[in-house]
Chains A and B, each alone.
Chain A
């Protein structure tokens, strides 16, 4: 039995990930998909993890939750949740944390719900897995939750099957389910990717409200820099299984250090001014974990690579802002201006 320990100090990080490394068994040698990922999540904070598809955002979070397949995956490093090392916990105890203290919102609401049960049953199932409450009580709570996430007519919706709901409604149901045990940490894996733009905005509003009303911390995985700018307190930029840059949202948007981050920022369509002929893009494709280049993983696609880049890059640190790059601080504004234009590098 794990007592629901209160945080010793309310300002301590609720989740500390240190040196997380994940490798998969393949037919040949094991392949390291996540290498030395470290970050903290503070209470009530929205941490955003950005990166292209395949950069290891989802895998790192699944391994924190212990949802990777232990037959093919080895995880090392330390994950401390509310002062407890959770990677080493036996499955039985980890199950008490999963769904109750750390809840997951999946990427695709179309496939995230079991098709053969009503959404009410699926929400009640999670409540009953963690609390001793009557079937009736759990159902009543499910109706309340569906109302809280803004589904119209919750007492009717509770008996609907997933295929009877639209994408946005399903995502609300998934969020209601994630909230059912008032988790301290909410992990949202690209919660808006599969949704229409207007519904995206509603779901993001909902997440912001949750943070305000319940004080939950949120890890928001996305590849949409627009979503990051709107939501995040702090940002983690991942590339090829490593954290290439991290910092507060202001640091990342006003003074980005890593050429990869510059590329991501340059790819946001501008809201004002003339429409560009083409959106900027980063040429090439990210490397697969099996054939990472020996030095900086981004070097083959980087416009600014120079000799040292064939060696492992150093991590620059300043006031919580870190970047994994050889470009010295004094050269950054000049190089950055060639990607992002003048106005950003002024910051």
Chain B
């Protein structure tokens, strides 16, 4: 089993290398576009462009360009953005990453717990009123755009009812670091978590319910019931465990994408300067070094989340382990 995991980690490194090459080629070797001019920014003088070209080694062969770029990204970490007057790229990413991570990990906790509870409840009480009602609510949750829900929550908690006992505790928008005041950190993030998780609770609940209902057609569920086990034990031990695979696959994809910047809308609505926002801003100004850094960062989390999912597969399903 350790070997399987080690193998998987090695594959992950390989995939990340491939992604970095691809991202580099897309940004720096696209025919017809001069990366030096892009990096120098709009209306840059020819002297600046020439300086950038020399500085980034863009006049040298492609493999060396790639090597130089990776060196500046990972080793010397002094890649600078020209649009923002020489601001360093890596600290920007490192400042934004924890904010996005806190947002997404917290929301993931809510949506995993919420999704499992909703799915189990709906499957256990199949065709009852509770099942139909919870699935209808889940559908509404799936359909609500995260930014709309966020804005409504903001409207309610920040302005309309802020002065009532219900929402007086809600702090102003923006991120507060965990280490300076954990309680404050929790309070600022609670509403963003709920708004981001709502969509996924509905989605995951429905997926899990469908898989559980399908599992109940299986022979081994009949065997479990014929053994005289209680309905709860059949549901949790036999049906849930075998229904979790699609749920976890979905989670790996969503989690990676969100940490990689897909939480943009939520970040913007709640004034959290995370990776999504950073990527968005750098795209607007065509800040190539920042885009390159955030793309590689995002790919790292997508690949990481998928590797983690594979490890979880190995843990929950012995058939994946190989004998």
A residues with CB within 8 A of B: 62, 65, 67, 71, 91, 95-100, 103-104, 106-108, 111-117, 125-126, 129-130, 161, 163-164, 174, 177
Distance in Å from the Cβ of B225 to the closest Cβ of chain A? 6
Contact (Cβ within 8 A) A114 B222: no
Contacts of B219 in A (CB 8 A): 106-108, 111-112
Which of A62, A96, A111, A163 is B220 in contact with, Cβ under 8 Å?
A: A111
Residue of A67, A71, A96, A116 with most chain B CB atoms under a 10 A cut-off: A116
Contact (Cβ within 8 A) B220 A71: no
Q: Check B317 for interface membership: any CB of A closer than 8 A.
A: yes
Contact (Cβ within 8 A) B229 A115: no
Instruction: Check A103/B226 contact, CB under 8 A, given A108-B219, A112-B219.
Output: yes
Contacts of A62 in B (CB 8 A): 222
Q: Check B77 for interface membership: any CB of A closer than 8 A.
A: no
Q: Check B143 for interface membership: any CB of A closer than 8 A.
A: no
Contact (Cβ within 8 A) A116 B218: no
Instruction: Check A114/B238 contact, CB under 8 A, given A108-B219, A163-B318.
Output: yes
Cα–Cα, bound, A100→B227 (Å): 7
Q: Check B71 for interface membership: any CB of A closer than 8 A.
A: no
Distance in Å from the Cβ of A302 to the closest Cβ of chain B? 34
Docked complex: B128-185 residues within 8 A CB-CB of A: none
Cα–Cα, bound, A91→B230 (Å): 9
Cα–Cα, bound, A62→B220 (Å): 14
Contact (Cβ within 8 A) B316 A116: yes
Q: Check B223 for interface membership: any CB of A closer than 8 A.
A: yes
Q: Check B281 for interface membership: any CB of A closer than 8 A.
A: no
B residues with CB within 8 A of A: 126-127, 218-220, 222-231, 233, 237-238, 241-242, 316-319, 323
Contact (Cβ within 8 A) B323 A106: no
3 tightest A-B CB contacts, nearest first = A99-B228, A104-B226, A111-B219
Distance in Å from the Cβ of A1 to the closest Cβ of chain B? 14
Contact (Cβ within 8 A) A125 B227: yes
Instruction: Check A112/B220 contact, CB under 8 A, given A163-B318, A164-B323.
Output: yes
Contact (Cβ within 8 A) A129 B242: no
Cα–Cα, bound, A113→B224 (Å): 8
Which of A112, A129, A161 is B229 in contact with, Cβ under 8 Å?
A: A129
Residue of chain B at shortest CB distance from A109: B219
Cα–Cα, bound, A114→B242 (Å): 8
Contact (Cβ within 8 A) A115 B222: no
Distance in Å from the Cβ of A181 to the closest Cβ of chain B? 8
Contact (Cβ within 8 A) A114 B220: yes
Distance in Å from the Cβ of B203 to the closest Cβ of chain A? 24
Which of A96, A115, A174 is B318 in contact with, Cβ under 8 Å?
A: A115
Contact (Cβ within 8 A) B225 A67: yes
Distance in Å from the Cβ of A313 to the closest Cβ of chain B? 34
Distance in Å from the Cβ of B228 to the closest Cβ of chain A? 3
Which of A98, A111, A116 is B317 in contact with, Cβ under 8 Å?
A: A116
Residue of chain A at shortest CB distance from B220: A114
Contact (Cβ within 8 A) A116 B241: yes
Distance in Å from the Cβ of A188 to the closest Cβ of chain B? 12
